């Protein structure tokens, strides 16, 4: 296994600080399957990124590759499980094993471990065991509303009306995507606004955003194309663990009306790794020269 996995996990994956009143024995049983498979892949995957001087970028390239292979393994299993279930066939294990052999080039011990974890995840997802019950949904909504929870990511105050389609409408966010094996355990649930939940979709981390499209050879903030902003803003918020770059306070605790996107080095142009987001009080106090972004994150 990779020696730096704990550091990678702390940087790449969000952690929920609130605990919701949800009891789910099936989720408990599968809580470690997806992280275990990801750790296994990250420890085995090597990416020729030596030309990259930035160690963080090397890590992110490797992690993004691990996510791709992980998603292939899991989605292949779900596809085959559903097909064989629909056809009432009992040959799922054989079909999945054969398909994995065409995808992977690993030793027998590693393959056996990947197969076991992938199979468990495929059956868990394919049988819809990860779905929250209606009772659990009501419990989470009631708990979040009673305690005035804001969006986990951008911090906007939430609209708890059930039929609301507003950008700040309350939604239950699975921090680790359900479609990739994220459980309905209370540690994997967060309050999110409609806007952030839709932008994040099934991405596991900020490395899964196509943030390389946000690379603009300019130092003029007026030239930053608005439609590129929503995805890169959420990716930066996730990279910063939902905290202001300067004061490190959680956005969900601040409930900001806006945040500011700015550059770390003003001798460098606007690109993902040269940008950060700060809360409005810090932007005002420090006279930050940046792009003011309303919260919830606008559609652009």
- Residue 82's Cβ-side half-sphere holds a number of Cα atoms within 13 Å equal to 13
The residue extents of the domains of the chain are 5-126, 134-200, 209-294
Vertex 248 angle, CA 6 and 143, to 5°: 80
Q: What is the pLDDT of residue 118?
A: 98
DSSP classification of residue 51: T
- Distance (Å, whole) CA 43 – CA 64: 13
| Per-residue confidence (pLDDT) for residue 1, from 0 to 100 | 42
3-state SS string for 234-293: HHHHHHCCCECCCCCCEHHHHCCCEEEEEECCCCCCEEHHHEEEEEHHHHHHCCCCCEEE
Residue 300: predicted pLDDT: 67
What does DSSP assign to residue 21? S
| Per-residue pLDDT, 244 | 97
Q: Which helix (H) or strand (E) holds 26?
A: helix 25-30
Calpha distance 271→215 (Å, rounded): 4
Question: What per-residue confidence (pLDDT) applies to 49?
Answer: 58
Return averaged pLDDT per consecutive 10 residues of the chain, 300 residues in all: 77 87 88 95 80 79 94 97 89 96 96 97 91 90 95 96 90 95 92 96 93 75 75 94 96 95 91 92 94 89
Q: Is the pTM of this model over 0.75?
A: yes
User: What is the predicted pLDDT for the residue at 116?
Assistant: 97
pLDDT confidence of residue 51: 67
């Amino acid at each position: 296994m990779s020696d730096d996995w704990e550091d990678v996990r702390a940087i790449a994956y969000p952690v929920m600080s609130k605990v919701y009143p949800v009891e789910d024995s099936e989720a408990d049983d599968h809580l470690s399957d997806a992280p275990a498979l990801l750790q296994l892949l990250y420890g085995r995957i090597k990416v020729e990124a030596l030309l990259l001087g930035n160690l963080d970028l090397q890590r992110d390239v490797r992690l993004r590759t691990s996510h791709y292979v992980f998603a292939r393994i899991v989605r292949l299993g779900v596809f085959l499980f559903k097909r064989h279930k629909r056809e009432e066939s009992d040959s799922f294990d054989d079909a999945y094993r054969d398909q994995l052999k065409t995808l992977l080039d690993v030793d027998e011990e590693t393959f056996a471990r990947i197969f076991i974890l992938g199979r468990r995840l495929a059956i868990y997802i394919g049988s819809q065991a990860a779905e929250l019950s209606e009772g659990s949904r009501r419990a989470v909504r009631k708990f979040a509303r009673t305690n005035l929870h804001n969006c986990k990511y951008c911090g906007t105050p939430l609209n708890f009306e059930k039929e609301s389609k507003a950008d700040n409408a309350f939604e239950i966010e699975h921090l680790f995507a359900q479609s990739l094996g994220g459980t309905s355990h209370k540690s994997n649930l967060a309050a999110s606004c409609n806007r952030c939940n839709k932008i994040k979709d099934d991405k596991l981390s900020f490395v899964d955003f196509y943030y390389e499209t946000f690379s603009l050879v300019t130092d003029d903030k007026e030239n930053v194309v608005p439609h590129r902003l929503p995805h890169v803003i959420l990716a930066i918020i996730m990279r910063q663990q939902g905290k202001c770059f300067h004061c490190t306070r959680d956005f969900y605790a601040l409930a900001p009306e806006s945040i500011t996107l700015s550059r770390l080095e003003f001798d460098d142009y606007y690109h993902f790794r040269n940008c950060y987001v700060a809360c409005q009080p810090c932007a005002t106090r420090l006279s930050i020269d940046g792009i003011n972004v309303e919260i919830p994150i606008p559609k652009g």
